[in-house]
């Protein structure tokens, strides 16, 4: 109603808010699936009303918890996740009764959804991340005996509901501007699912620069450029398709990663890394094909240490750059503000970023 054409978000990707996980939208459980913490509960409680749900929502402890969480200045993601989980579990049971054929159809149409739900349910059933599972479970397809059925059904429903609500948002006049993170957690579904494509014992990061003099270690395992190429960059393409299914504009976090990534051995500091090159032309080709196929504009996060060839490649691909007001101020020596630098054509402008807000 205010005239916006796009609404931008941080990554809306699947996360795990247990105490031993890093709570960050840029260290997700998967770049293929969504975070149910963002589901609109109001609409779901109306669609899947039941006596059990009414009783749960009326409980004083649930009402008090929701009220106290809403008053916080900062989001307590772990606490919000717990209370939403209890409500969504109740909703999921009703949905599996009334929408069973649709949910089974979603699994049949997307075998990846079955694998993801089985993975999340197994991790919850065993209460440890997959690197701590028995060796034979780390590499085989998971079976119903590996996990509790209710947990599996919960994750199927949660993703089905996320996909439905995102589709509803994407159909509005104001489009979604989504954010594709540069990687995933080492204990994520994606690393378990595509183990041969990821590199063990290495983290992605950034070298020392003006913002972070000690460099950065993002604790994200990198894709192996040659092994990814051997399978046609299947995983990267799936990540792009999952986002562009709902996005009118997609931000590629750390777009320099299409060209090279800063690899840091896990046991060393962020100043001890080195750059590894990636087949940029092939990765751009995937982005451009999917951009045309799904009518989704592309934005590259070109901030930080940017190699000379990156911005010309972005321009050739028709990918928008970023312009950040906080990084574009001009000053005299006596601290007199002179204004902002002129932004490049067709850039996506903002006052600041998630790193500096």
pLDDT of residue 346: 86
CB atoms within 10 A of CB 146: 18
Question: Is there a contact between 351 and 322 (Cβ–Cβ < 8 Å)?
Answer: no
- Rounded to 5°, the CA angle 179-215-233 comes to 45
Q: In 3-state terms, what secondary structure has residue 170?
A: helix
Q: How far, CA to CA in Å, does 194 sit from each of 112, 186, 189, 227?
A: 12, 11, 8, 10
pTM for the structure as a whole? 0.92
Q: How far apart, in whole angstroms, are the C-alpha atoms of residue 73 and residue 11? A: 21
pLDDT in tens, 215-231: 999 999 999 999 999 99
For residue 276, the cross-strand partners are: 261
pLDDT of residue 330: 66
Q: What is the mean pLDDT of the chain?
A: 93
pLDDT of residue 332: 67
pLDDT in tens, 290-343: 999 999 999 999 987 899 999 999 999 999 999 887 776 766 666 777 777 888
For residue 264, the cross-strand partners are: 203
Q: How far apart, in whole angstroms, are the C-alpha atoms of residue 174 and residue 280? A: 31
């Amino acid at each position: 109603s205010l005239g916006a054409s796009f609404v931008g978000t941080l990554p809306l990707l699947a996360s795990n808010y247990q105490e031993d996980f890093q709570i960050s939208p840029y260290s997700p459980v998967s770049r293929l699936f969504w975070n149910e913490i963002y589901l609109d509960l109001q609409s779901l409680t109306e669609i899947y009303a039941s006596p059990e749900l009414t009783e749960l929502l009326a409980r004083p402890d649930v009402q008090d918890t929701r009220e106290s969480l809403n008053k916080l200045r900062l989001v307590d993601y772990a606490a919000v996740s717990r209370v939403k989980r209890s409500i969504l579990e109740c909703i999921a049971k009703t949905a599996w009764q009334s929408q069973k054929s649709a949910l089974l159809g979603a699994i049949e149409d997307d075998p990846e959804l079955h694998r993801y739900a089985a993975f999340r349910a197994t991790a919850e059933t065993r209460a440890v991340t997959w690197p701590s599972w028995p060796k034979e479970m780390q590499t085989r397809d998971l079976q119903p005996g590996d996990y509790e059925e209710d947990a599996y059904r919960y994750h199927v429903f949660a993703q089905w509901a996320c996909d439905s609500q995102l589709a509803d948002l994407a159909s509005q006049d104001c489009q979604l501007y989504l954010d594709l993170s540069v990687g995933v957690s080492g204990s994520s579904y994606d690393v378990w699912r595509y183990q041969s494509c990821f590199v063990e014992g290495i983290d992605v990061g950034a070298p020392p620069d003006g913002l972070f003099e000690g460099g950065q270690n993002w604790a994200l395992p990198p894709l192996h450029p040659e092994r990814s190429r051997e399978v046609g960059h299947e995983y990267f393409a799936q990540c792009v398709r999952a986002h562009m299914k709902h996005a009118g504009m997609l931000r590629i976090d750390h777009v320099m990663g299409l060209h090279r990534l800063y690899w840091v051995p896990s046991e060393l500091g962020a100043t001890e890394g080195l750059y590894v090159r990636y087949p940029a032309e092939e990765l751009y080709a995937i982005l451009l094909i999917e951009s045309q196929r799904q009518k989704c504009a592309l934005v590259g996060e070109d901030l930080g240490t940017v190699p000379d060839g990156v911005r010309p490649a972005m321009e050739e691909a028709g990918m928008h750059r970023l312009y950040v007001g906080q990084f574009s101020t001009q000053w005299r020596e006596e601290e007199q503000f002179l204004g902002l630098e002129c932004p490049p054509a067709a850039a996506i402008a903002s006052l600041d970023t998630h790193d500096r807000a």
